[in-house]
């Protein structure tokens, strides 16, 4: 069984993003970049599937600039077998990403595509669902537990009301949530081995995909600064402030 794992290069989650002075977007100059945290979880899940004998090959895919090759290397050091970099300096919207992934999935004949439910830079939460629709495959989103058995995937999903367990037929598309697993750290020997693993470089044009943006960003602003809290001496003072100042009771 071949597993395809898309990964995205994003601003490191520990870094505070800065908005450009003209409000045209987020300033990426001299900012630490890393793999999208949700994608780290999907890579870990694929590696565990291979360790369990469920998966035979893990193909890592990233769409982005040349620097995204390092993101692929990180995933290869975690246990991926080979990588594909679809090189572009343009911002690719979710529908463009889904179309490229569709072409790669069909070319690779991948049985399972497993990816993070969203990227922490745009928080779109669209690519997995769009990909499943384009492929005409079943989908299981927001996975917190995954079991593969007998040509089916049993997935426990995190939904508003709690947990929902579904069973879908393979091939399928799975998007993962934070509580699925704890991603491993890549060891130094594996990092060195990852340098020798192959990464094919492609372009969106190689897959016949037009990535011209369909959306236009009008303005980007930072969220309003939160006011500092105050300490109260008693429950009575708290109730008084909630009633008289906050007006919530």
Q: What does the pLDDT read at residue 82?
A: 96
Contacts of 234 (CB under 8 A, 6+ apart): none
- Residue 90: CB atoms within 10 Å: 13
pLDDT at 50 (0 to 100): 96
pLDDT of residue 18: 86
Contact 76, 197 (CB under 8 A): yes
Distance CA 64, CA 100 (A): 12
Residue 44: the pLDDT is: 97
Q: Given this model, what pLDDT does residue 247 score?
A: 80
What structural domains does the chain harbor?
2-224 (3.40.50.620)
Between β-strands 2-6 and 199-202, what pairing exists: parallel, antiparallel or unpaired?
A: unpaired
- Where residue 244 falls (left for φ over 0; alpha for ψ -120 to 50; beta otherwise) is alpha
Contact 14, 125 (CB under 8 A): no
Cα torsion at 69, 75, 77, 78 (round to 10°)?
Answer: 170
pLDDT of residue 230: 83
Q: Where are the alpha helices (DSSP H) in the chain?
A: 37-51, 68-78, 94-108, 127-135, 188-194, 235-241
Q: What is the pLDDT along the chain (249 residues), one digit of tens a residue?
A: 999 999 999 999 898 888 888 888 888 888 899 999 999 999 999 999 999 999 999 999 999 999 999 999 999 999 999 999 999 999 899 999 999 999 999 999 999 999 999 999 989 999 999 999 999 999 999 999 999 998 999 999 988 889 999 999 999 999 999 999 999 998 999 999 999 999 999 999 999 999 999 988 888 888 888 888 888 889 998 998 888 887 877
Handedness of CA 62, 64, 68, 71 (dihedral sign): negative
């Amino acid at each position: 069984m071949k597993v395809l794992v898309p990964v995205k290069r994003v601003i490191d989650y520990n870094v505070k993003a800065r908005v450009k002075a003209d409000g045209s977007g987020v300033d990426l100059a001299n900012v630490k970049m890393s793999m999208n945290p949700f994608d780290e979880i999907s890579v870990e899940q694929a590696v565990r599937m291979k360790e369990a004998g469920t998966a035979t090959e893990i193909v890592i895919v990233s769409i982005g600039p040349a620097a995204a090759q390092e993101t692929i290397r990180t995933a290869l050091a975690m246990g991926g077998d080979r990588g594909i970099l679809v090189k572009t300096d343009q911002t690719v919207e979710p529908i463009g990403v889904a179309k490229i992934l569709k072409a790669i999935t069909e070319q690779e004949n991948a049985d399972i595509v497993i990816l993070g439910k969203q990227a922490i830079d745009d928080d779109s939460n669209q690519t997995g669902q769009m990909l499943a629709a384009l492929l005409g495959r079943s989908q299981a989103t927001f996975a917190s537990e995954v079991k593969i058995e007998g040509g089916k995937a049993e997935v426990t999903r995190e939904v508003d009301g709690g947990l929902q367990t579904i069973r879908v037929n393979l091939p399928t598309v799975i998007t993962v949530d934070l509580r699925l697993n704890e991603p491993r750290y890549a060891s130094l020997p594996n990092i060195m081995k990852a340098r020798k693993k192959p990464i094919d470089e492609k372009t969106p044009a190689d897959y016949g995909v037009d990535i011209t943006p369909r959306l236009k960003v009008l303005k980007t602003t930072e969220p309003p600064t939160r006011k500092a809290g105050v300490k109260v001496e008693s429950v009575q003072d708290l109730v008084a402030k909630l009633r008289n100042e906050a007006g919530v009771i």
